[in-house]
Structure 1
Amino acid sequence: MQAPAGRLAPLLAIVGSLISVNVGAAYAKGLFPLVGSSGITAVRVGLASILLLAFWRPWRAPLAKGDAVNVAIYGIMLGMMNLLIYAAFARIPIGVAIAIEVIGPLAVVVFSSRHLRDFAWVACAAFGLWLLAPAAAGANALDPVGVAAALGAGFCWAMYIVFGKRVSTLKGGPVVAWGMFAAALCTVPLGIAQAGSALFAPEVLFGGLVVALLSSILPYSLEMMALSRLPRRVFGILVSAGPAVGALAGFLVLGEILSTTQWLAIGMIVVATAGSAATANRG
């Protein structure tokens, strides 16, 4: 039987990851005027990749062909998730963007569930998402490009969970390093195309380093540890608590003020994810 501390460790890892990644996201949004959302994504992912490769030196333990494919897909989904969610942050509030993004992890719940109650929680979250739609009474108009980017990030998040679970049986640190390298290969060229030489300004590099530590190295390492000890469905449910953390980070760091309807929508999604976590079967 697993000791209480052993059961608590992966949950604390998820909480630490959520706080770190959302504070990092709010700080990153403040840097968008310098090089744009793609530029900050490129600096963040590129620096994180360099640091992780230097620390773990994963080439010392080459991957099997099948594992390499899964790690590559995991990394590409990681990179595209970062690119798209930052594009959403540039256009809509952070908490709202994350609330839309969690449709991805909730889809993981639906497709891996065998219980009607989980569909009820998804319906609760869907109602919260509906409250964010422009058609909902009292809803503030949201930039459609930002909404589309958040939905795309949600799909990538779902794939990140699926393929992250597949590679979580491997050594966590080297896997994260290879995954971040794959993410850098698909994000850095786009950032250079948008910002050019401005990416290498000292203030941009320093800010990108802070964002890389808060939003990439620390949270993804914590998540990889949690993925190896939690079922995929439970992991997807727990990290879906991010909208509330993101909304608070946006308010505290950037002063983003949401409408009552938007807070209600986020609350519905948080209730849905908390309920799913409370009723999830042990596994």
Structure 2
Amino acid sequence: MNRFPAPALMLGSVLSIQFGQAIGKQLAGTVGAAGVVALRLGLAAALLLLLHRPALPRSRTDIGVILGFGTAIAGMNLIYPALTLLPLGLASALQLLGPITLALLTSRRVLDAGCAVLAAGGVWLFYAPSGARFPLGGVLLALASGACMAAYLLLSKQAGTKSTGGGALALALAWAAALTVPLGMMQQGTHLLSPRILLTGLLVAVLSAVLPYSLELAAL
């Protein structure tokens, strides 16, 4: 992966996430938002733990980074309840305001700031001129997901400097799964274990978690 330039890796991540979220939005109609999150994070964590077999962190600092990283990943999944209230394009655009704001706040070059402003303008043009009204709850959930995405990017870079490979990501996803899977199981129970649901959930996990998170970690 490191043979590819960082912008190409990030573009691949964004594209993968959008396809995964589109499938997740459809799946939410069957198992609900909590069910989608449980499948997404639970299966993604299992795949990465099997792939990387990471050692447990030893220092308090490393433990804190992993827990914060995983909590941010769990918070990013607020996009799924938002998708039950908003169109996919609007929810995704609002979520991306988090990374765009982070880019503006941390920019050290005028060109970088200009690109972030253009991206923010594109988000506004995407839906604002239509005059349509959308549920405030969905908008707030998408924005909260975006804030968690900004925190995720900061913690992802920090976690990447503390470990090689995807061990830190695997542990963070395991913590995110521990925070979210019980809620999905309480709401949907054994319905999540049906073969068709599991297969679709695996596709969502790969497209919207395993692949994009791995690409972003390599890029950062």
Secondary structure of 2:154's match? helix
User: Secondary structure in 1 aligned to 2:166?
Assistant: helix
Q: 1:131–1:139: 8 Å Cα contact kept in structure 2?
A: no
Query: Shift of the alpha carbon at 1:50?
Result: 1.2
Q: Tell me the TM-score normalized by structure 1.
A: 0.70
Residue 200 of structure 2 is aligned to residue 204 of structure 1: no
Percent of aligned pairs with the same amino acid: 38
Q: Which runs of 4+ in 1 moved over 6 A?
A: none
Does the alignment pair 1:190 with 2:186? no
Aligned residue in 1 for 2:21: 25
Residues 119, 9 of structure 1: CA spacing in aligned structure 2 closer, same or farther, 3 A cutoff? closer
1:1-283 matches, cutoff 5 A: 8-59=4-55, 62-82=57-77, 84-114=78-108, 122-130=116-124, 138-169=130-161, 170-227=163-220
CA contact (8 A) 1:172 1:221 kept: no
Are the counterparts in 1 of residues 100 and 120 from structure 2 also a CA contact under 8 Å? no
For 1:20 and 1:187, how far apart are their aligned partners in 2? 22
Separation in 1 of the partners of 2:36 and 2:212? 17
Distance 1:128 1:11 in 2: 19
Contact persistence 2:28–2:36 (CA under 8 A): yes
Gaps of 5+ in 1: 228-283
**Which one has a bigger Cα radius of gyration?**
1
Which protein has greater RCO, CA pairs closer than 8 Å, 6+ apart?
Answer: 2
Cα deviation for residue 85 of structure 1 reads 0.8
Query: What CA RMSD, in Å, does the superposition of the two structures yield over aligned residues?
Result: 2.3
The number of residue pairs the alignment matches comes to 219
Distance 2:29 2:72 in 1: 25
Of 193-202 and 45-54, deviating more is 193-202
Deviation at 1:108, TM superposition (A): 1.1
Q: Render the CA deviation track for 1:219-238: whole Å, top value 9, x for unaligned.
A: 111111111xxxxxxxxxxx
Offset of residue 95 of structure 1:
1.6
